[in-house]
Amino acid sequence: MPLADSLLRRLADQVGTPFWVYDSTVIRQRIADIKVMTAAPGLQARFAIKACPATKILREMCAHGIWTDAVSGNEALRALHAGHAAGNNPPVICFTADVFRDNALEVVMKHGLLPNVGSPAMIAQLAAAGYKGPISLRINPGFGHGHVNTCDTGGPSSKHGIWHADWKAAKAAADRAGFDVTMLHAHIGSGPKVQELHDNLTRLAGEFAALIPHFPKLTAVNLGGGIPHNYRKRDEQPPIEPLAQLFARCRDIIVKAAGRDIRVEIEPGRYYVASSCTLVTRVHDVKRTQDNAKGKGATFAMVDAGFVDLVRPAMYGSYHQIEILGKDPAQGTEPIVVAGPLCESGDVFTRGGADEELLPRDLPRPEIGDLMVLRDAGAYGYAMSSNYNSIGRAPQLWLEDDGTVTQISRRENIDDIVKAETDERIL
């Protein structure tokens, strides 16, 4: 069911603004797409929980046989809570990190999860804790791409993984600790172009093929995520069949090098959920500045959503399509800066360029009371929201195929914000 303007207005009247709304039909279609991409024998898909960790989402993944990748102890617990199986044979929940923080090591130990080791010292830390199971090694292959340059997940500037030239030392440490290395992993990121993904994954499969003979207990190779999502041209998304062929070819390369059956995994996050969610906000004012010696004036649409809700534009200069409900751009537009309520100059949704400067968006003239929507907000949207300025997180709503809407998280209040504060003496 499409997100009709009338529905969004009713929801705004019911729960207030801002709010998030997920379209279950879109999520299930993206899951179905991934199932087609991994339909060849020996392929397994995971979901990178960090993209959108809502229990409702995790239960959808579980119901469709999508395994998970957790990057904190609590993410792993959320996956368990949603019904994903514990244990490492098979490793339905893989724990990937560069640091064991908080309860992470305890959760791995208690639930027998497969730890995907991103820093060499983690091997000794596992051994010191008494861990006895298999491990995975996350390799930084020396190349890769993020959806923006600051998000590169492979290469000299990336903090993630064990540098590819250091794999021998990592394997020796695993051997000394008595750990079987059962999986090799790399994540080269969500570059904006499908051809780049094709070239990088083919190269990565070849790199892993060269390593496999040195890991006799290996049963799996994880190629990471990296399926792009086109935020600017929402109707132009990566074709499914060429990606299915790519993943199957990569597995053929890996199995041939191993001389035995090897499971090949992918673990997208963004692809599953980005297009499923819309952030709905309301215009509270429209104000203008004038040209002067310092620069050009602008028209600001002041909305009640801010980077406490969707931080990606402020953090990365990321683009999200913005629309004003009930107003047709064909009837005329003007340059508008869309800004939020926070006491922070960077609280602007229309940024970009090398210096993340203001980039006014051509929109119909907004008026006080208009509802404005930011599309494709499902990935790293609510997941990266915060309580800055002591603002509660906005509610998340779920639209079912039959048109019913469920609130899957409520709007936070002051009690939620201060509930962790104490006056407990510790020394």
Catalytic residues: 343
The pairing of strands 396-399 and 405-409 is antiparallel
Using the structure block, give the residue that is written with the tokens 């090398």. Answer: 354
246 Cβ neighbours under 8 A, 6+ residues apart: 197, 198, 201, 202
Backbone φ, ψ for residue 158 (5° rounding)? -90, 135
Joined together, the tokens standing for residue 299 give 């028209």
> Residue 254 — left, alpha, or beta (φ > 0 → left; ψ -120 to 50 → alpha)?
alpha
End-to-end CA distance of the chain: 57
Count other C-beta atoms under 10 Å from residue 427's C-beta: 2
Q: Which of 135, 126, 258 is nearest to 185 (CA)?
A: 135
Per-residue DSSP letters for 264-304? EEE--SHHHHGGGEEEEEEEEEEEE---BTTB---EEEEES
Q: Count Cα atoms within 13 angstroms, Cβ side, for 262.
A: 32
Q: Count Cα atoms within 13 angstroms, Cβ side, for 393.
A: 17
Q: Which of 265, 222, 269 is nearest to 27 (CA)?
A: 269
Q: Count Cα atoms within 13 angstroms, Cβ side, for 298.
A: 17
